[in-house]
Structure 1
Amino acid sequence: MRTPLIGGFALPCLSVLLHGSAMAQGFIDDSTLKLQLRNVYFNENFRDENGLSTRAAATAKSERTEWAQGVLLDFQSGYTQGTFGLGFDALGLLGVKLDSGRGRSGTGLLPVHADGRAADESTSLGLTAKARFAQTVVKHGTLLPKTPVLVYNDARLVPQTYQGTQLVSKDFDDWLLTAGQLDQFKLRDSTDSRSIIPDGYSGREGGDFTYAGADYTVNKQLRLSYFRGQLDDFYSQDFFGLLHTLPLGAGVLTSDLRYFFSRDEGNHYSGKIDNGMFSGQLSFAVAGHTVAAGYQRLNGDGGLPYINGATVYSFSNVGIGKFIEEDEKTWLASYGYDFKNLGLPGLSFMTRYISGSDGKTGPAGVNEWERDIELAYVVPTGTLKGLGVKLRNYVYRSDTARGRDSNRLYLTYDIAVW
């Protein structure tokens, strides 16, 4: 006669299974899978004016025109239950060429082969392990850092990604703490990982980038920030920020002040840097209208250093130019309108003008300007909710660089799979 397994073996096994099922419940139930489709047409024509770079212009491309389809699949798990939870994320990226040519490649949408032709397709998979303790989350693997000293670039077909470890904590009231160390990155138009280098550096080897900082919410209207970033043997950078909102009549006045202090570090492979940059903007929003004006100034040796391919956390990082050369002074004015006040939710318009002067790049002086126009619409409700179209027109001119006229059309569709 067979003895029922109720004691020494069956019940412990059942307990483990039930406990494991409970732990995994949050991992599964809180997970999300999002799909974004990006169809991008990019056309940029170069303008060689004022007799600049005549020899170079004679052999350089007169235009860059490409059309490509991007697919972004973003899976984010929940966490196993308990004070200490574990999770897992995955980011799949696909780019497919729809139209290009050897003489028209290099828009930043797709990788470019040695023969000057764009790749037919590119794929990349990023995996991230994560752990949560109370209100602190640690992630290791593929990251999309977004701090004042490093902002990943997401202005083309697929985003720029980084490899490393990052900690974000909300355990202290009114404080958001962030720290991380990165050792590799991929450009937005490349599937190859490489060590991290600053913009403009022509060497092959880079270094590790470490960063740490805090955002402190003083009250509902005021937030203060401090961050420090360091790229080994290249540069270090301190950031101080103040963001304040003030109800004013029927609208809101926002003051956004930012200051960067950068200097060379270690073997200073990218040259001498001892630079301060103030960047400030005032904006007033009322009844769907937003009017803004800003001023920026650099002082000291070198321009503002930043990681190759990344977005600069500055109002001057616009459609084409960045306006961050040594000693450059920049003015900015912009206007935006949200058409929901006219009964058209999802439709928006923006235009801006930015002018920089007295900058230096080597022995040459820099005077540059840019005018941008953007019109965007995202379906707000219904079956096609999340379907968007954005048209961008940028015009850039400089005393020391080729002028550029750029037209870009983005069709996007965000789908929450679950």
Structure 2
Amino acid sequence: MQVMKWSVIALAVAAGTTQMAVASEQSESKGFVEDSSLNLLLRNTYWNRDYNKGTNDQKAWGQGFIGTFESGFTQGTVGVGVDAFGLLGLKLDGGAGTAGDHNLGGMFNTEGTPNSKGVLAPKDDWSQAGAAVKVRISNTVLKYGNQMPSLPVLAYDDSRLLPQSFTGALVTSKEIEGLELNVGRFTQDSPMWSPESDEGNLKQIDIYGGSYKVNDQLSVALYASDIEDVAKKKYANVNYQIPLSEEQSLAFDFNIYKTKFDSDFTDADKNTIFSLAGTYAFGAHALTLAYQQNSGDSGYLYDIGDGGSAIFLANSYYSDFNQEDEKSWQVAYDLDFATYGVPGLSWRTAYVYGYDISTDDGEGKEREFFNQVKYTVQSGPAKDLAFKARNSIYRNSNNDSGYSDDLNEWRLFIEYPLSIL
């Protein structure tokens, strides 16, 4: 951790010697009300997980309302503001027997007493509200309260109906052009399916690190976290883009996590996982090849106090291909239909194959065929109305090895953002 800390400091110093400080955002503040915004996102989500057995299938359908308010900052050397959110989820379909182990598709917690089959029924609705106070000096912001951070070592999950949130303090500094530094401490974790402020049983997570855009082609990042009584993590990223012509480019993205586990949390000692992806983009098309490798005493663990999206790795779809000793390859293709007269429509397809997984029965294998289509209305009365259909076909060689059973999964989303203020 000390090495990581000094690396971040060195990154900041190096940046300071090559870049000028940017203009102060606080000096340009128009005021608490004048810079305020109020938005409402309407999200309809359908989720279906078919295990091809005729039993234990999971499905859910819900309507979500996500309201967000962001104030401006008061004028002066020190600016003060408030951010707030309100969440409401309504169950449209899904009952006892479709909720899975503890929630309905990651949308609604279960309640009451088990039915004749020993299954709990999911709640019909749930709601939550949160707020954070923020203070800004120059280009540095301190925020305390309920937040939705999105950093490699602490990232909230928003993959179902309503988003995950955390409670704590986060400092974000952008005093030097291209450089962002983050330091934070969070003590509560509220999941996607419940208003409980600490259902994740988070004691405390400390995070620090930063990202630096060296130039238009190269960017780097270093982060670290300490999840109390769970694990310490380090993360690094290098992203390099090479323009080949006006309509062609080549990009490389390298990500790595190193985890040291607390002895009271698991018998495993440590874990290292990395991914390297290369993407060749040409016109409306993009072809990606990626390799990911895991080593150590266990698979890579996340959502252990650091959020359900704290896995900035190339081969993360339905499966994360993050099992013990696992190696995996990916080939993916992206198509932007704007070139063909349909702006707002895109398609991504990918195939990922994982092997050499350590299991009780020897070496396991898994594979996933992924497809996602997205369309956003570009103009007219329904402008910004968005549709997304995501499908995963997943298979593995050892259903009893401790990772997922074979399944076919659909996730369907309809979103409509409304700008109220």
TM-score tier after normalising by the smaller chain length:
0.7 to 0.9
1:28 to 6, 10, 33: 33
1:413 to 394, 408, 416: 416
Cα root mean square deviation, aligned: 1.8
Q: Distance in 2 between matches of 1:152 and 1:271?
A: 27
Q: Secondary structure at the match of 2:368?
A: strand
Q: 1:165-184 to 2 correspondence within 5 Å?
A: 165-184=169-188
Structure 1 residues without counterparts, runs of 5 or longer:
1-22, 49-56, 197-204
- What is the aligned partner in structure 2 of residue 226 from structure 1? 222
Summarize deviations over 1:82-123 as a string: whole Å, max 9, x none: 121000011101100111111222311222225321111110
Equivalents in 2 of 1:38, 1:206: separation in Å?
A: 28
Which structure would you say has the larger Rg?
Answer: 1
Counterpart for residue 151 of structure 1: 155
Mapped to 2, the partners of 1:284 and 1:396 lie a distance apart of: 26
2:252 is aligned, of 250, 255, 259, to 255
Partner of 1:202: none
Give me the whole-angstrom Cα distance separating, in 2, the residues matched to 1:70 and 1:385: 19
Greater Cα shift, 98-107 or 301-310: 301-310
Q: CA deviation at 1:217?
A: 1.4
Q: Matches of 1:390 and 1:397 in 2, distance apart?
A: 23
Q: CA separation in 1, counterparts of 2:269 and 2:321? A: 17
1:238 aligns with 2:237: no
Q: CA deviation at 1:268?
A: 3.7
Q: Contact 2:191 / 2:199 at 8 angstroms: preserved in 1?
A: no
More deviation in 392-401 or 149-158?
392-401
Kept after mapping to 2: 8 A contact 1:150/1:313: no
CA distance, structure 2, for counterparts of residue 36 and residue 340 of structure 1: 25
Kept after mapping to 2: 8 A contact 1:228/1:239: yes
- Identity among equivalent positions (%) equals 31
1:395 matched to 2:393? The reply is: yes
Other structure's SS at 1:130 match: strand
Whole-angstrom distance in 2 between the partners of 1:373 and 1:164 = 36
Q: What secondary structure is seen at the aligned counterpart in 1 of 2:32?
A: helix
Asked if 1:315 corresponds to 2:314, the answer is: yes
* TM-score normalized by the length of structure 1: 0.86
Deviations 1:243-275 (A, max 9, x none): 11110133111110011111123x442332322
Alpha-carbon distance in structure 2 between the residues aligned to 1:206 and 1:107: 22
Structure 2: gaps (5+ residues) = 1-27, 115-119, 400-404
The yes-or-no answer on 1:303 pairing with 2:295 is no
Residues 26 and 151 of structure 1: CA distance in aligned 2, closer, same or farther (over 3 Å): same
Confirm or deny: 8 A CA contact 1:151 1:313 kept in the other structure. no
Deviation for aligned residue 1:127: 0.8
Aligned residues: 375
Q: Deviations over 1:25-76 (max 9, x none)?
A: 610010001110001111111135xxxxxxxx9xxx4311211100000000
Q: Hey, what's the Cα distance between the residues in 1 that align with 2:226 and 2:372?
A: 34
Runs of 4+ in 1 over 6 A off after TM superposition: none
Structure 2 counterpart of 1:210, one-letter code: D
C-alpha contact (below 8 Å) 2:44/2:63 kept by paired residues: yes
